[in-house]
Amino acid sequence: DPISLAVGAVASAGLGGMWIWKNTVKCKFYECCQEPDVFLKSYKLEQDIEKYLFGQHLVKDIVVNSIRAHWKNPNPTKPLVLSFHGSTGSGKNYVSEIIANNTYKYGLKSQYVKHIVATKDFPDKTRMDDYQTKLSEIIENALAKCARTLFIFDETDKLPVQLLQIIKPYLDYHASDELDSRRSIFIFLSNKGGSRIAALTLEQYESEKPREELKLEQFEKDLMDYSFNEEGGLQMSELIKRQLIDHFVPFLPLQQEHVKKCIEAYLIKRNRQDLIHNVEVITKILNGLQYYPPTSKAFSSSGCKRVDAKTDLEIERNYEIRRSTKEDL
Ligand SMILES: Nc1ncnc2c1ncn2[C@@H]1O[C@H](COP(=O)(O)OP(=O)(O)OP(=O)(O)O)[C@@H](O)[C@H]1O
């Protein structure tokens, strides 16, 4: 009858209002899977990569444009799957962090970012059954909470094949309706193909051509082949065969000029701008790192990875020198 219909309508409007109100209040205090807590700041993402990532001209283009396109698409048919390749300290984790910082209010600490490190999270090869259950729970719970989850799989080459089997269906085109992974992003990080990337970059260096002229196409096929063939490449081969990886992103080995920029950035972070032009200090830090190949010493063996520790050491030494000089005086 019309009266109960009207009462029902008022009650449901009331409940709806209460829900919206509760949600608004809740989201003021807790992170929610909605704007502004989860929102791609695409211009800032581009700016941050431009400003803070050194020597990786190919990365900005693929990362920024693929993420932007995936976010803009109202009906993506699959999640965005990126595979970052390159030697240690070239910036793979760093770029993942920049992406997280420009998507989630709490960056990598967001409950909607799942950072999985094969050797740390799944260390025991005898417990694969447990791990399979655990991993599928992690993925399902995350997607149930937020369709815009960012999954980062570090050390992918060490991820056991059984666990990769668990991930595979979520990367595919036909995910189940109730668990929709199509709005999520998966990033796989590995050192696989690093030696091939270094060889191509070295060729460019030795022929005295600017590395910025290196094109993505020069790497993509090689990366696919190397990911197949190198030891540990088996893990990726299934994903490659089924075309589940959207983009292979090569991280080039870093030269001294890039390491120098990393040192400067760290000195600014430590509020020691006064040391940026101190040639002696900078040279000591640079000399504290190893370079390869032995002939040209073109690239840093650890990229920018040990720069913070080496710079801290020199800051401390410098401080000690200043103090002892003062005391001597
Ligand atoms: N290209 C770069 N530009 C600026 N800083 C960089 C770059 N590469 C690395 N760094 C600095 O070095 C640190 C270590 O790099 P990162 O952890 O991203 O290396 P990675 O490629 O993930 O290495 P691994 O393969 O060993 O995990 C970063 O936190 C960042 O401060």
pLDDT, residue 6, reads: 60
CA of 247 from ligand 1 middle (Å) equals 20
Query: Does 262 sit in the ligand 1 pocket, CB within 6 Å?
Result: yes
Give CATH for domain 42-251. Answer: 3.40.50.300
Where in 165-302 does DSSP place strands (E)? 185-190, 247-251, 291-292, 299-300
In this predicted complex, what is the ipTM? 0.99
pLDDT digits (tens, 9 = 90+) for 185-241: 999 999 888 888 999 999 999 999 999 999 998 888 877 776 666 655 556 677 777
CA distance 110 to 185: 14
Index of the ligand 1 atom closest to the CA of residue 94:
18
pLDDT of residue 229: 60
Taking 70 as the pLDDT cut, the residues of the chain under it are 1-23, 174-178, 226-236, 319-329
Does 301 sit in the ligand 1 pocket, CB within 6 Å? Answer: no
**pLDDT for position 329:** 46
pLDDT tens, position by position, 305-327? 999 999 999 988 876 555 555 55
Question: Is the CB of residue 53 below 6 angstroms from any atom belonging to ligand 1?
Answer: yes
CB atoms within 10 A of CB 187: 25
Helices (H), 80-160: 92-101, 118-121, 128-145
CA separation for the pair 18, 234 (Å, rounded): 52
Where are the chain's structural domains? 42-251, 256-328
Looking at the DSSP bridge assignments, the partners of residue 193 are none
Q: Which of 79, 227, 250, 220 has its CA nearest to residue 159? A: 227
Residue 95 Cα to ligand 1 middle (Å): 8
C-alpha of residue 18 to centroid of ligand 1, in Å: 47
pLDDT of residue 223: 77
